[in-house]
Amino acid sequence: MMILKKNKDLKIIKLWLFTSICLIGLMIAVGGVTRLTGSGLSITEWNLFSGIFPPLSEMDWEKYFLLYQTIPQFELINKNITIDEFKFIFYWEYFHRLLGRLIGLFFLLPLIYFSIYKKIDKKYLFNFYLIFILICLQCFVGWYIVKS
């Protein structure tokens, strides 16, 4: 059984899948640090596109810090945190979310290319798209956690 149409594409597909696995491993590590540092809810809003950039001005930082002060995590865990300490936990959560976006794009864009140019046998494409759907489901769960 060949997943690929041509053997010459095997190296490219293997590299894509191996890199995807490495990115997911990195996500697990960053997610673990995010959890251990209590950074997980430091970004109180989920903005898929505008959330790509961190706060760029002191006024933006103050806005994000004030939003953070309204959630239970601040009251229960980080009540005495300074804005500089907030920036530290904010960046862990920021890199966690940025990495999630990167993983989604890194998996989807080559998959679309491989589909269009028929680099992967049609009967196996369902499995690869299912993996992408699972990646999206994980993002949805993350969004739901932040929202609730």
pLDDT in tens, 57-104: 999 999 999 999 999 889 988 899 999 999 999 999 999 999 999 999
* 8 Å CB contact between 27 and 96: yes
- Identify the CA nearest to 30 among candidates 83, 71, 89: 89
pTM for the model stands at 0.85
Indicate the domain borders of the chain: 7-29+60-119
15-23's contacts with Cβ under 8 Å and 24+ in sequence apart are 16/110, 19/106, 20/103, 20/106, 20/107, 23/99, 23/102, 23/103, 23/106
